[in-house]
Amino acid sequence: MAPNMMKAAICKEAGKPLVVEEVPVPTPTGRNLLVRVQVASLCHSDLLVTAGNSSYALLPQIIGHEAISVVEALGPDAASFSVKPGDRIGAPLWQDMCLECWECKIIGPQHCPKITMKGITSAGYFAEYALVDAATAVVIPETSGVTPAQLSPIFCAGITVWDALERAKIKPWETVAIVGVGGLGEVATKYAHALGARVLALDVHDGQLEGVKAGGSADGILNTRGLQPQDVRAQVAAMNSGRLIDAVVVTSGSVPAYQTAISILRPDGRLMVVGIPQEPLPLNLGLVATKSFRLVPFNHCRYRSDVQ
């Protein structure tokens, strides 16, 4: 039985520290599950909210959208979603889709006009208890052998890069370059490696490159700091039997990272957009046309069937 009050870390004002306060434990209405948070991890998007750099955030807000939780109670409409009290769950960021509109049924529930974003436009996981939309909940078997702390980032970083790789339609005989191998990029190298692709990691930090090399998920690494795009192109081709790259996943939010990515892409290759630069990307559409490459955005607002 959940208590009446709980501690929550609230972003009251952008640019100020979070405030820990006692607030009421929410009541699960509709499809919502009341969950007890086991582990909540901090994402780059949370920092955009707290710094005032998110154009979506509604403040004050309990932040956090990556967590592993245990179900405490079900809302009146949650029973048909195969989740029960005691289940350990994770869930994607997006929730409250209506599941009935044209967007929900035809394009995907992540485009529903009624959708909210946990920890950004609705209360998140930096609290002892939270509400989770049962339609997004993924039940994690206790026998998975993975700890809650290991699992938690999978529900944002993991989904994000998996989505990019899935949309890139990676074939086992292809070469994938990951540009930017920090948190997201490191996960991307592991997933691409698991898909059977040859994986090249590009970054401007030796430490991150050495990390993915030591982890065994990169077949080659290149520090692009100070290199011109044509030099990166030549070095990457030399690392890949003279060929350019089939799909490039850019997890860095910098314009030069995208310029690097375009320079190493083969004709008819796929450029996967994950990192979001703050400034616009100058894009030569003549090059897009002549190289016939495809610019594909990630969309990490996947429905639970995609995550399972």
Neighbours of 184 (CB within 10 A): 26
Among 33, 43, 63, 199, binds Zn ion (CB under 5 A): 43
The answer to whether the CB of 78 falls within 8 A of the CB of 59 is: no
CB 53 within 8 A of CB 89: no
The maximal CA–CA distance of the chain, rounded, in angstroms, is 64
Coil, helix or strand at residue 36: strand
CA distance 160 to 137: 17
Q: Whole-number minimum distance, CB 114 to Zn ion, in Å? A: 6
Residues 66 and 89: beta-carbon distance below 8 Å: no
Q: Of residues 223-262, which lie at the interface with Zn ion (CB under 5 A)?
A: none
Q: Which stretch binds Zn ion (CB under 5 A): 7-15, 37-45, 177-185, 253-261?
A: 37-45
Residue spans of beta strands (DSSP E) within 42-115? 61-62, 66-74, 88-90, 94-95
Q: Is 301 in the site for Zn ion (CB under 5 A)?
A: no
Query: In 3D, which of 118, 128, 25 has the Cα closest to residue 70?
Result: 128
| Binder of Zn ion out of 101, 255, 276, 288 (CB under 5 A) | 101
Q: Which of 98, 195, 288, 296 binds Zn ion (CB under 5 A)?
A: 98
Count of residues binding Zn ion (CB under 5 A)? 8
Among 41, 45, 121, 240, binds Zn ion (CB under 5 A): 45
Query: Which lies closer to Zn ion via its Cβ, residue 117 or residue 168?
Result: 117
CA 131 vs CA 25, 127, 138, 261: distances in Å: 9, 10, 14, 40
Region of 5-13, 95-103, 165-173, 282-290 interacting with Zn ion (CB under 5 A) = 95-103
CB of 46 to Zn ion, least distance (A): 7
Segment interacting with Zn ion (CB under 5 A) among 73-81, 127-135, 155-163, 188-196: 155-163
Q: Which is nearer to Zn ion, 213 or 303 (CB)?
A: 303
Give the SS3 label for residue 56.
Answer: coil
Q: Under the criterion CB under 5 A, does residue 156 sit at the interface with Zn ion?
A: yes
Residue 307 binds Zn ion (CB under 5 A): no
Candidate list 62, 78, 112, 187; residue touching Zn ion; CB under 5 A: 112
What are the residues binding Zn ion (CB under 5 A)? 43, 45, 97-98, 101, 104, 112, 156
